[in-house]
């Protein structure tokens, strides 16, 4: 189901949470989406809301390229009103509505005008677990709080008001910080898409309990799965 990119394969324990590292820089996000995506594993997404702070350490991401060769990316048809933020500077937050039910969050990567992004699929809540549980009362365990892109945005309280947020700004209410990198990373097919399914552009921390369950896309067109179903 996936190839291990670095040595490992056994179940890994989540590094002990501590203060987040420094904010990422635009330069760290300028590479191709499939190169930047695995480097985001272990980074912290931090949200500051009136009710408190929550931080999620990323354990699973997916790359979507804007170079014109990735028909599963929302940017494949150019800077439509929905996808325009993907063509902005690296570090912006691209938020979209999936299945008409929940929100998904992406980090814009690559040079401005390129249209690439990395979908934040799953992570471990390392700060603000009590608040995350209040937002996710259906979660049966800590691993389920941000296990999957919809659960992740719910735990962080990320929604349409955060579209275009600068994740690299210290004054932003949603920020992207460096964190402890995983000791092993695996790669495999992206989840729930129907185009470019052969690309191994989903990356996850090997053995992490919070990684979402792999479900291949159906044979019919599905709007909003991954970044498939471009309007």
* pLDDT, the chain, mean: 87
CB 54 within 8 A of CB 157: yes
Question: What's the confidence (pLDDT) of residue 214?
Answer: 74
CB 4 within 8 A of CB 206: yes
Dump pLDDT digits (tens) for 159-174.
999 999 999 999 999 9
Domain ranges, ordered by start, for the chain: 3-205
The pLDDT-based confidence of 146 (bands split at 50, 70, 90) is: very high
Domain 3-205 has CATH 3.10.300.10: yes
Beta bridge partners of 44: 57, 177
The pLDDT-based confidence of 132 (bands split at 50, 70, 90) is: very high
* Rounded Cα distance, 130 and 184, in Å: 29
* Rounded Cα distance, 51 and 154, in Å: 14
Tokens of 47: 């949200």
Question: What's the confidence (pLDDT) of residue 7?
Answer: 31
Dump pLDDT digits (tens) for 67-120.
888 999 999 988 998 899 999 999 999 999 986 678 999 999 999 999 999 999
Task: Give the pTM.
Answer: 0.87
Left (φ > 0), alpha (ψ -120 to 50) or beta: where does 7 sit? beta
Share of the chain above pLDDT 90, in %: 74
Question: What's the confidence (pLDDT) of residue 207?
Answer: 95
pLDDT surpasses 60 at 15:
no
Q: Is 65 exposed, middle or buried (0-12, 13-18, 19+ CB in 10 A)?
A: buried
Question: What's the confidence (pLDDT) of residue 98?
Answer: 83
């Amino acid at each position: 189901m996936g190839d291990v990119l670095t040595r490992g394969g056994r179940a890994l324990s989540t590094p002990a949470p501590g203060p987040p590292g420094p904010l990422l820089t635009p330069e760290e996000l300028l590479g191709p989406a499939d190169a930047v995506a695995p480097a985001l594993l272990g980074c912290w997404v931090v949200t500051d809301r009136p009710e408190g702070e929550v931080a999620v350490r990323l354990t699973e991401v997916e790359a979507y390229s804007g170079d014109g060769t990735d028909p599963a990316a929302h940017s494949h048809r150019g800077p439509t009103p929905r996808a325009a933020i993907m063509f902005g500077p690296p570090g912006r937050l691209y938020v979209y509505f999936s299945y008409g039910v929940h929100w998904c969050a992406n980090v814009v990567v690559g040079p401005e005008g390129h249209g690439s992004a990395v979908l934040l699929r799953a992570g471990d809540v390392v700060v603000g677990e009590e608040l995350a549980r209040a937002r996710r009362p259906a979660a049966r365990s800590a691993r389920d709080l941000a296990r999957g892109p919809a659960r992740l945005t719910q735990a962080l309280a990320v929604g349409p008001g955060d579209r275009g947020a600068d994740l690299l700004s210290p004054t932003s209410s949603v920020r992207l910080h460096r964190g402890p990198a995983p000791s092993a990373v695996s790669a495999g097919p992206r989840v729930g898409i129907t185009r470019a399914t052969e690309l191994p552009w989903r990356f996850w921390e090997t053995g992490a309990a919070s990684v979402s369950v792999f479900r291949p896309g159906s044979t019919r067109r599905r709007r909003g799965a991954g970044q498939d179903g471009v309007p």
